[in-house]
Amino acid sequence: MGKFEKNASIEDHQISQQIYNHHVKQFKNNHDKMPSKKLTIISDIHGNLEAFKAVLSDVDDLGLETIVCLGDNIGYGPDPDEVLKLLRSRNIPSLMGNHEWGLVDESSLFWFNPQARRSLLQNQQLLSDESLAYLETLPINMFINDCLLVHACPPDSFRTYLFELSPIQLTEIFKEMEYGLCMVGHTHDLVLISYTDGQVKTERLVEGTQILDEKSKHIINVGSVGQPRDGNNNAKYIIWDSETRTLEVRFVPYDIKITVEKIMALGLPRINADRLW
Ligand SMILES: [Fe+2]
């Protein structure tokens, strides 16, 4: 655990160091051993209540109990407050995503392209005081059952895009990983990056199950529940069984039309709706 604290450096000096340090410190309280060997990981709900409810229904049908969320619960979609309330009512712990950070540290709003920034500021108007206060509590990363969870890139970035990193940079990240597995979201793309005998291999993940080699280290991008960028309009999430080392990718259909109509009725950018199809 000390290693993470040492590595909790700021990737980008344009963010508020004081606020960031506050959230990294919360990592101490999130080094958990969960009783369940099966961990359900969701990410990037982005205010899409219908997709989120469909995923929860699928999770409940499978009898899964331990769910964690990698952040970006808000932004783009029409129901940010309802999504945050549902997360909290289900006791699903969430990490800080870059969209939450945009409201926690408003000096970072310049990061976002104009339509993402406009969506986030419209989302801000839809959030209750309680939800805005909740955003302030989110940690940067968590460590559960020997797996590091972080929004974008290990060990502590909610903003770095994995696809922008070279194989050499990825190799350095894997060398620093004292653990075998890390789960991320952020790009909205399901990807498995493996590090075996000094070699990095990146592959897209598809629906279904596979066993992960325990001799390799892995970074898994779990995809997006509510704002797909991979050409497939289902809500997506993963289940990780640390006992059998089985990774299951789940695709869940939902009623996209309802979400699209809400986005248009609220006057959010049209692209936020178009991307859902
Ligand atoms: Fe996102």
**Residue 87's pLDDT band (cuts 50, 70, 90):** very high
Q: Residue 197 C-alpha to ligand 1 middle, in angstroms?
A: 32
Centroid of chain to Cα 53: 17
Question: Which residue in 204, 205, 212 sits closest to 244, CA to CA?
Answer: 212
Cβ of 87: how many Cβ atoms within 10 Å? 21
**Domains of the chain, first to last:** 2-6+24-274 (3.60.21.10)
Distance 83 CA to ligand 1 centre (A): 14
Kindly list the protein residues that place their beta carbon closer than 5 angstroms to ligand 1, a single-atom ion: 44, 72
CA of 29 to the centre of ligand 1 (A): 25
CA of 45 to the centre of ligand 1 (A): 8
154: which 2 tokens?
């290990």
Q: Report the alpha-carbon angle 82-149-247, nearest 5.
A: 95
pLDDT digits (tens, 9 = 90+) for 216-247: 999 999 999 999 999 999 999 999 999 999 99
Rg (alpha carbons) of the chain, rounded to whole number: 17
Sign of the alpha-carbon torsion through 51, 57, 61, 66 = positive
Which one, of 92, 153, 155, 103, lies nearest residue 133 by Cα? 103
Q: What is the pTM assigned to this prediction?
A: 0.90
pLDDT digits (tens, 9 = 90+) for 131-160: 999 999 999 999 887 899 999 999 999 999
**Residue listed under structure tokens 């469909």:** 54
